Chain A
Amino acid sequence: MNATVAKLTFRSLLGRRRALVFFALPAVLIALTVVAVALTDEVDGEILEILLGAFGLGTLVPLLSVIAGTGAIGPEIEDGSILYVLAKPLRRSVIIISKLVVAIGVAIAFGALPIFACAVLATGEVSGAAIAYGTAAAVASIAYCSLFLLLAVVSRNAVVIGLLYAIVWETVVGQFVPGIRTLSVQQWSITVTDRLVGDHASEAGLDPSVGSIAIFLFLAVVVGSTWQATRRLRTIRLGDDG
């Protein structure tokens, strides 16, 4: 971890116009929650599942992670300014990990924390459901961000591919084709959450549909993506013009 790399990453992530999405997405969730609380006497599990499960875990977290994960390194590679970080006696793994930590931090700050806050707002207390949803969102952010950061190192079309993955694969396919759930980051994070906070997860209706293999897959994706991103950064091609 290198504080200067992290700081530069953070500044350019939040310094760009895309950063508006970081504020807009959780704002939508909060607005929806406020409306739900105002319109119903008691927010039941079903509403929580739609708000925090389908929208929060299913849409908000993957979208934020696409923007944070790819944004942590993609624009710098595209405009060549990554050169200023690369032209330093720094281990490439340190650069990748520093950027990943910032991306995960931003995804948690704008995804998991608002989800947790909305759960508290909806249930009126720091309930088990709030803890479970918040944890699941944080866990999913870790896996998504490491995947999308790798994607940004490998491809110039990382944002588009990332969005397609987040929307098509995770939301649509993952919901309707049960077999694919084994390969869904969202499902892994629910399993990991179940192991981490136990009863709270079932209280929130977050029942794992994938067994312990999810924990292995989750770790493999995080470690594997980070390792591969480091490897690719070491031989990244910059400035192919003339």
Chain B
Amino acid sequence: MTSIVLDQVSRWYGNVVAVNDVSMTIGPGVTGLLGPNGAGKSTLIHMMGGFLAPSSGSILLDGEAVWRNESIYRRLGIVPEREELYESITGHEFVLANARLHRLPDPAAATRRAIDMVEMADAEGRDIRTYSKGMRQRIKMAGALVHEPDVLLLDEPFNGMDPRQRLQLIELLRELGAAGKVVLFSSHILEEVEQVASDIEVLVAGRHAASGDFREIRRLMTQRPHQYIVRSSDDRALASALIADVSTTAVELAPDIGGLQVSAADFAAFVQALPRLAAARDIRLLDVRPTDESLESVFAYLVER
């Protein structure tokens, strides 16, 4: 069974640590590498693809080091995030060149198959410089799949895709995962990862923050304390009612923001309790809004655990 094993991998640039002591095993199926921008996802993928040496630790593909080892590319395909390609050749020529560089026995047939797989047959005769973002993404994908690798690494593959292309790629990744390939893709959008990946690895600020299937990750994310700002016709009375309820853990009068700062223990219970408590005391709710719904704060919570 194919697997990539990262053992205490770190990567730093001067004083900046991009990846910090990450250990994980990526096996067959689709794995999502989730994390905010700048979390070190690209650095990690580049290291897994053999394009960057880990500053410390090791990355092995079935026991073989990936760094300075050209032979791994027989089994590995990589789709980088950057869009630059050979602009003055056609999509077909690009995929065919990939097939030839792999010295495949029948490069023409492999090219045909890969282009059909990403549904780019209609545009294969056009110069790459005329391609849209989504088309570039797909032709890069065809180039990486042309030698039917056991391992496919994709850096932010959904960027710039329209909804139809997105569905198509989701379908393709699922098929590859179901066929027993090791598929790893990075994304900063939980919903995106959830739709495709059976396993999710969360990376925050270079650290491996969480790992598991998507239900587990979602549970971790929704069970964290939620922060709300609540403004009402009588903040003090509402505060006393809220702190008496089990759904909250802290309530603070915050005159500088003109309302209450509420920490909810249970997000679902809190959103039901709040209107009920207010109505019972004849208090009008003027403003209720979450303050930390940004992905970064969700990730930060996971790291702090």
Contacts and interface: CB of A to CB of B under 8 A. Distances in A.
Contact of B39 (A15, A92, A242): A242
Contacts of A234: 68
A7 interface: yes
Interface stretch (B75-83, B256-264, B278-286): B75-83
B51 A86 contact: yes
Interface in B240-268: none
A196 interface: no
A238 B100 CA distance: 23
Interface string B166-210: 000000000000000000000000000000000000000000000
A85 interface: yes
B50 to A, nearest CB: 8
B70 A91 contact: yes
A239 B51 contact: yes
Contacts of B40: 242
Contact of A90 (B13, B49, B51, B101): B101
Contacts of A15: 87-89
B130 interface: no
B71 interface: yes
Nearest to A85: B101
Contacts of B80: 80, 83, 239
A84 B88 contact: no
A234 B68 CA distance: 7
Interface string A2-16: 111101100110011
Contacts of B70: 88-92
B71 A81 contact: no
Given A4-B101, A87-B78, A11 B86 contact: yes
Contact of B84 (A2, A5, A81, A90): A81
A2 B101 contact: yes
B37 A242 contact: yes
A118 to B, nearest CB: 30
Contacts of A238: 46, 51-52
Interface string A87-111: 1111110000000000000000000
A240 B191 CA distance: 27
Nearest to A86: B51
Contact of A239 (B52, B97, B100): B52
Contacts of B49: 87
A8 B40 CA distance: 31
A80 B18 contact: no
B71 A89 contact: yes
Given A239-B52, A242-B38, A4 B100 contact: yes
A81 B89 CA distance: 13
A5 B87 contact: no
Nearest to A80: B82
Contacts of B5: none
B88 A11 contact: yes
Contact of A87 (B18, B41, B73, B97): B73
Interface in B24-41: 37-41
Given A7-B97, A242-B37, A235 B53 contact: yes
A101 B39 CA distance: 41
A86 B100 CA distance: 13
Contact of B86 (A8, A88, A237, A239): A8
A44 interface: no
21 contacts: A5-B101, A8-B97, A11-B89, A12-B87, A12-B88, A80-B82, A81-B82, A84-B97, A84-B101, A84-B143, A87-B78, A88-B73, A88-B101, A89-B73, A89-B102, A235-B68, A237-B52, A238-B51, A240-B43, A240-B52, A242-B41
Given A12-B87, A81-B85, A87-B50, 10 more contacts: A2-B101, A80-B82, A81-B86, A84-B85, A88-B101, A89-B72, A89-B102, A242-B18, A242-B37, A242-B41
**Which 4 A-B pairs rank lowest in CB-CB distance, beginning with the nearest?**
A15-B88, A79-B84, A88-B101, A4-B100
